């Protein structure tokens, strides 16, 4: 069934955005005007509901209202607090943990002190810039832990009540219920933390909160899947803002052994604008200069050491890049048609929201044999943000030391081979939304140190795949693959998947676990805006090819897993040892084995049970004991 894009959003408030759209959002100014007009027309016809049952095209739901939390002057309430991590306000690039790169930019607040009107959001520092009194706890690029890349930054003052994000709402049922029908003509939209994007029927699940416009036959004309944490003011300045540059190259040229410096606010040390340039043995020093909008720095390269944009091609060898400012991303590729080729170079950054190599807006980054190390929070060594792009890395060392700073934070198509990737206080890798990471013969180490505000409901992990709903990454199936090399988790689960579909392929990887969980697929509290609680699980396809692995696999009731083990794969562990969870389909070929370490509960099994070693435990398939 083909679902059409919703241009009219019922009575949802639609924010005006520029014609240069962010990743995951196709709304233009003209569409916004149209949506607003239609909103006024349909306002009386829309209804807020929470889904209680989905049977094919028939949706049954409780009718109710949305109540928005208020904020008081002390910073408590909806507007205060650490923004949820991830791209969502606060947290890290992934949105876990205390505000990381929070919607970057200064959080609700304007200046880096957290004071003032809304500043940048999803990417940089969470609302409010650095939270008064220092960094918000925890968060990494993935949003876990102390402030990470996640909507980056440090959260505003105080914790929002109950961990609710700025602008958070709650559903209150009226006691009435309705049943309506989806049709081929139903327009389905997903509401992000900032803006909206196209959705489909699969985005409507039990627990989803919807705004629905019905016709006289009780068929849905339009459905908006509401994000109860939307409207927190994240999203940067709303226009492409690159700042200024101390030195700009606009004509084709070759440069050898030059030094470029900057101490100005919102200023690059060097900018390559629309030209084809070869830079050999150059030095970049960005030693001072504040960022007026952290999220614009994350999205567009404002305050970066070296910014390449407007379709330029920069080939860089033997460079030394040092930055010591917020948003001091070392080398930044921005925009469609822009290409950075960088090799045999050293990059050091010390402050928050300062990645090593950064790619956004559809740019391309090709890196070889780099030595990259970052110290700040929300400072992934290999980093992408709104608009994504293509990143290829071959060889080198990539080290991060801040929270919310995975070695790789991905909102792009990223492939890395023969590299050492080390995150000393964060996840090793985070993939957000409809994007991909492919690792070949890499050594990955993750050491996530904390969770969002120390919340025991948060997850600690080495690799996270999720959707923050910030609008920085398209909604869709994420992809993670690893062949050869090693992945070491020093803390937490090996893999954590929430609020997204994803495909994982593993072949001949050496895993070292920190606990007994290899894979956790489950929903989240939605306190960071990652979907709606009760409807934000994960749907995972995992293929293990010639792979040895151990550890439990946990799939909750709102999630699913299709696990295939083939070509001599050996698995030692239990699946949902505490009983039934979500749908789990297991395929085991004749050359692969499974050794139980606990009772296991799955939905279906395709294979020969003689390849399963019970080890004193039992296997249950669709409720029946088969071993």
pLDDT (0 to 100) of residue 69: 62
pLDDT in tens, 206-230: 989 999 999 999 999 999 999 887 7
Look at residue 490 and tell me whether its pLDDT is greater than 80: yes
Q: Which segment of 57-61, 95-99, 308-312, 489-493 scores lowest on mean pLDDT?
A: 95-99
Q: pLDDT for 298-326, tens place per residue? A: 999 999 999 999 999 999 999 999 999 99
Please give the share of the chain, as a percent, with pLDDT higher than 70: 75
Assess whether pLDDT exceeds 50 at residue 95.
Answer: no
Helix, strand or coil, per DSSP, at residue 35: helix
User: In which element (H, E) is residue 300 found?
Assistant: helix 294-300
Query: For the stretch 472-509, what's the b/e string if a residue is b when 16 or more beta carbons lie within 10 angstroms of its beta carbon?
Result: bbbbbbbbbbbbebebbbbbbbbbbbbbbbbbbbbbbb
Cα dihedral 101/102/103/106 (nearest 10): -100
Tell me what percent of the residues of the chain surpass a pLDDT of 90.
68
Which of these, 295, 411, 409, lies nearest to 353 by C-alpha position?
295
14/170 Cα distance (integer angstroms): 19
What number is the average pLDDT over the span 118-141?
34
φ, ψ of residue 355 in degrees (nearest 5)? -75, 170
Residue written as token pair 């693959």? 481
Q: Is the pLDDT of residue 86 over 90?
A: no
* pLDDT on residue 149: 37
How far is the C-alpha of 132 from the C-alpha of 484, rounded, in Å? 45
What mean pLDDT is predicted for residues 149-153?
35
Other C-beta atoms lying within 10 Å of the C-beta of residue 21: 17
pLDDT band at 441 (very low <50, low <70, confident <90, very high): very high
Confidence label for 454 from pLDDT (cuts 50, 70 and 90): low
Task: Categorize the per-residue pLDDT at 456 as very low, low, confident or very high, splitting at 50, 70 and 90.
Answer: low
Cα-based distances in Å from 304 to 21, 150, 324, 344, 592: 21, 18, 10, 20, 50
Q: Give pLDDT, residue 267.
A: 98
Given a contact cutoff of 8 angstroms between Cβ atoms, the answer to whether 464 and 427 are in contact is: yes
Give the confidence band of 202 by pLDDT, cuts at 50, 70, 90: confident
Among 145-159, 253-267, 361-375, where is mean pLDDT lowest? 145-159
State mean pLDDT over 198-209: 89
Residue 81: pLDDT over 70:
no
pLDDT at 535 > cutoff 90: yes
CB-CB contact of 474 with 389 (8 Å): no
pLDDT at 487 over 50: yes
Which position has the higher pLDDT, 163 or 412?
412
Average pLDDT over residues 62-81: 57
Q: How confident is the model at residue 391 (pLDDT cuts 50, 70, 90)?
A: very high
Q: Cβ neighbours of residue 509 under 8 Å, at least 6 residues apart?
A: 482, 483, 484, 485, 486, 487, 547
Q: Mean pLDDT lowest for which of 6-10, 277-281, 462-466, 577-581?
A: 6-10
Give CA–CA dist 474/199, Å, rounded. Answer: 10
Residue 115 has pLDDT above 70, yes or no: no
- Is the CA virtual torsion 508, 512, 517, 520 positive or negative? negative
- Averaged pLDDT, 568-582: 96
- How many Cα neighbours within 13 Å face the side chain of 303? 30
Specify the pLDDT at position 480. 98
pLDDT at site 450: 76
The CA distance from 193 to 212, in Å, is 19
Q: Say how far residue 434 (Cα) sits from the centre of its chain.
A: 10
Q: Rounded to an integer, what distance in angstroms lies between the CA atom of residue 536 and that of residue 459?
A: 15
Mean pLDDT of 341-369: 98
**Band of the pLDDT at 152, cuts 50, 70, 90?**
very low
State the chain's mean pLDDT as an integer. 81
Largest CA distance in the chain: 73
Name which residue leads in pLDDT, 89 or 537: 537
Q: What is the mean pLDDT of residues 264-285?
A: 98
User: Please, which residues bridge with residue 382 across strands?
Assistant: 357, 408
**pLDDT of res. 213:** 96
User: What's the whole-number mean pLDDT along residues 244-252?
Assistant: 98
Alpha-carbon span 523 to 570, nearest angstrom: 28
The residue with greater pLDDT, 94 or 238, is: 238
Tell me which of 226-235, 443-452, 461-470, 544-553 is least confident: 226-235
pLDDT band at 411 (very low <50, low <70, confident <90, very high): very high
pLDDT for the residue numbered 423: 98
Quick one: pLDDT at residue 527?
A: 83
pLDDT of residue 235: 60
Looking at residue 144, its pLDDT comes to: 38
Residue 455 confidence (pLDDT): 57
């Amino acid at each position: 069934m083909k679902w059409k894009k919703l241009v009219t959003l019922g009575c949802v408030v639609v924010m005006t955005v520029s014609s240069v759209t962010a990743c995951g959002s196709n709304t233009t100014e003209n569409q916004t005007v149209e949506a607003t007009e239609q909103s006024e027309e349909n306002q009386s016809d829309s209804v807020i509901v929470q889904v209680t049952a989905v049977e094919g095209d028939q949706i049954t739901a409780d009718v109710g209202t949305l109540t928005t939390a208020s904020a008081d002057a002390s910073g408590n309430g909806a507007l205060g607090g650490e923004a949820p991590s991830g791209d969502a306000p606060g947290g890290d690039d992934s949105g876990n943990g205390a505000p990381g790169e929070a919607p970057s930019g200064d959080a609700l607040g304007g200046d880096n002190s957290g004071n003032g009107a809304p500043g940048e959001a999803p990417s940089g520092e969470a609302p409010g810039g650095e939270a008064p009194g220092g960094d918000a706890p925890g968060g990494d690029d993935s949003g876990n832990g102390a402030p990470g890349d996640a909507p980056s930054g440090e959260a505003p003052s105080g914790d929002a009540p109950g961990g609710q994000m700025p602008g958070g709402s709650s559903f209150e049922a009226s006691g009435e219920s309705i049943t309506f029908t989806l049709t081929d003509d139903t327009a389905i939209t997903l509401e992000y933390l900032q803006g909206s994007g196209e959705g489909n029927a699969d985005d409507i699940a039990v627990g989803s909160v919807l705004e629905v416009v019905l016709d006289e036959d009780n068929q849905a004309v339009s459905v908006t899947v509401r994000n109860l944490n939307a409207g927190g003011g994240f999203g940067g300045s709303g226009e492409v803002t690159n700042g200024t540059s101390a030195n700009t190259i606009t004509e084709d040229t070759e440069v050898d052994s030059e030094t470029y410096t900057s101490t100005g606010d919102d200023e690059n040390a060097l900018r390559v604008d629309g030209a084809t340039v070869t830079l050999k043995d150059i030095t970049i020093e960005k030693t001072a200069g504040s960022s007026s909008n952290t999220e614009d720095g994350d999205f567009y390269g404002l305050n970066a050491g070296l910014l390449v944009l407007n379709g330029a091609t920069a080939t860089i060898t033997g460079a030394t890049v040092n930055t010591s400012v917020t948003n001091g991303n070392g080398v930044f590729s921005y925009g469609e048609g822009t290409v950075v080729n960088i090799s045999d170079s050293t990059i050091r950054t010390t402050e928050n929201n300062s990645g090593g190599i950064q790619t956004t807006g559809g740019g391309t980054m090709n890196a070889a044999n780099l030595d990259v190390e970052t110290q700040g929070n929300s400072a992934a060594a290999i980093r992408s943000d709104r608009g994504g792009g293509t990143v290829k890395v071959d060889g080198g060392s990539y080290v991060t030391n801040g929270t919310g700073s995975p070695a790789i934070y991905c909102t792009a198509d990223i492939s890395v081979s023969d590299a050492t990737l080390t995150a000393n206080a964060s996840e090793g890798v985070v993939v957000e939304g409809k994007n991909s990471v492919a690792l070949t013969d890499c050594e990955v180490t993750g050491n996530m140190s904390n969770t969002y505000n120390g919340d025991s409901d948060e997850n600690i992990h080495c690799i996270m795949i999720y959707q923050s709903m910030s609008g920085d990454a398209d909604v869709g199936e994420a992809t993670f693959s690893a062949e050869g090399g090693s992945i070491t988790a020093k803390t937490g689960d090996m893999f954590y998947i929430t609020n997204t579909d994803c495909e994982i392929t593993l072949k001949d990887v050496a895993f070292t676990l920190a606990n007994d969980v290899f894979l956790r697929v489950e929903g989240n509290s939605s306190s960071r805006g990652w979907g709606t609680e009760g409807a934000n699980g994960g749907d995972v396809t995992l293929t293990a090819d010639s792979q040895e692995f151990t550890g439990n696999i946990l799939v909750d009731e709102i999630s699913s897993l299709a696990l295939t083990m083939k070509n001599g794969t050996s698995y030692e562990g239990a699946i949902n040892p505490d009983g039934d969870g979500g749908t789990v389909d297991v395929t085991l070929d004749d050359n692969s084995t499974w050794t139980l370490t606990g009772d296991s509960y799955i939905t279906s099994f395709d294979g020969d049970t003689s390849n399963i070693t019970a080890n004193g435990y039992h296997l249950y398939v669709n409720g029946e004991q088969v071993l």
